[in-house]
Amino acid sequence: MKKILIIDDDADLIENIAEILTLSEYQVIKAGNGKEGIEKSLKEKPDLIMCDVSMPGLDGFGVLHVLSRHPETFSTPFVFLTGRQGLTDLRRGMAMGADDYLTKPVNEDELLSVIDVRLRKNESLKRQASPAHLGFNELLQQVKDYDLINLTHISRDIHSYKKKHLLYSVGEKPVYVYFVVSGKLKEFLVNDEGKEFIIDMYSNGDFFGYTAILEDKPYKASIQILEDAELMIIPRTDFMQLVNQDRHISMKFINLLSNNIREKEEKLLNLAYNSLRKKVAAGIINVIDKFKDEKQGRPVIQISREDLANVVGAAQESMIRTLKEFKGEKLIEIVDGSIYILNENKLRHLVY
């Protein structure tokens, strides 16, 4: 049951709204002034906050201001209650990050619809994304939510691509953002001597191609299909609009990118000083984490030796020799070319 906090100095109005909400199966918390409202927000962590703009003492802006400075509450949907005449206040409210508003006297339909929309929207954003990428459901949910505010243009084209197909390569102008419905892909760079290094891998549920679009520059890396794939194609304009339009989504993206940076930084450290053994171990773990394949309860990776070497950043032969070592140490097992991980933990924390 969702918790809703109502902050207003008008006790009658609170009762009125509380009644409607209770009937609609929401749990209602009440606060008679701004200070109390903040205390209850932090303590009860409601799913949504409704707050009157004009109150004696700390007013609605003050409450929003304080709450937007607390990590626990800054992303809680915040709805202003305002009188008809309060049009100028509204600008301040929206600019400060309120999500929506309601005018007094409160219309029952509007009340419920606003609450429903805001809760659903926040719900879809709260679901934890996979470490480095947004999930399919989330994206669709967001798209759906946006329909509610009159955005029906996200296309849902799904295209199929064959193994080895080069989706795009360095220097091309980005036109789409891609979402992986099924299949596997690699993203790689090539150096002057033609050596390839795999900087990222994608499988179902992943989302890629956005950095070039966000920067508005040609692709700096190439994408190739590793296993037959179905990709959902999102035009750049739709994507820009999506990211641009909602602070929650922008924040989600910022989060995503920060994560990505950390991931790359770790790889840098790994490449800089680690022994081949450690690099190979890190490479295997990397593939496992990205593709998440399992067989008979054990993590498995199916990847060409060449590609694995390019993930590791080493010569194929050297990498293979290390695999052999790992096999001898019972860390992995190789059957028909597939690499089964026997001791994931030890592999993650190699001592030398």
Partner DNA sequence: CGTCCAGTTGATACTCTTCAAGCGGCGTGG
Partner DNA sequence: CCACGCCGCTTGAAGAGTATCAACTGGACG
Binding site for DNA (CB under 7 A): 275-277, 304-306, 314-321, 323-324, 334, 337
User: Which residue intervals of the chain are DSSP H helices?
Assistant: 11-23, 34-44, 60-67, 87-95, 108-126, 136-148, 210-215, 236-245, 247-273, 276-291, 305-312, 316-328, 344-348
The entry of a second copy, DNA, none near residue 277 (CB within 5 to 8 angstroms by kind) is DNA
CB of 88 vs a second copy, minimal distance in Å: 9
Helix 316-328, helix 276-291: angle, nearest 10: 90
Does 147 bind a second copy (CB under 8 A)? Our answer is no
Query: Could you tell me the two tokens for 158?
Result: 């799904």
Does 253 bind a second copy (CB under 8 A)? Our answer is yes
Q: Which residues pair with 79 in a beta bridge?
A: 50, 100
Q: How far apart are alpha carbons 231 and 204 in whole angstroms?
A: 9
Q: How far apart are alpha carbons 86 and 91 in whole angstroms?
A: 9
Please give the single-letter amino acid code of residue 279.
Answer: K
Among 1, 25, 69, 128, binds a second copy (CB under 8 A): 69
Query: Could you tell me the two tokens for 113?
Result: 């619809």
Does 267 bind a second copy (CB under 8 A)? Our answer is yes
The piece of 7-15, 16-24, 48-56, 70-78 that touches a second copy (CB under 8 A) is: 70-78
12 or 91, CB closer to a second copy? 91
Among 35, 92, 120, 305, binds a second copy (CB under 8 A): 92
Does 127 bind a second copy (CB under 8 A)? Our answer is no
Q: Which residues pair with 78 in a beta bridge?
A: 49
Burial class (CB in 10 A: 0-12, 13-18, 19+), 297: exposed
Q: How far apart are alpha carbons 209 and 219 in whole angstroms?
A: 8
Q: How far apart are alpha carbons 113 and 106 in whole angstroms?
A: 12
Q: How far apart are alpha carbons 19 and 24 in whole angstroms?
A: 9
Among 19, 39, 147, 216, binds a second copy (CB under 8 A): 216
Among 115, 221, 284, 300, binds a second copy (CB under 8 A): 221
Among 96, 106, 119, 276, binds a second copy (CB under 8 A): 96
166 or 261, CB closer to a second copy? 261
CB of 149 vs a second copy, minimal distance in Å: 5
67 or 281, CB closer to DNA? 281
Contacts with a second copy by CB under 8 A lie at 61, 65, 68-71, 74, 84, 87, 90-92, 94-97, 100-101, 103, 149-151, 153, 189, 191, 193, 195, 197, 199, 210-211, 214-216, 220-221, 236-238, 240-241, 243-247, 250-251, 253-255, 257-262, 264-274, 313
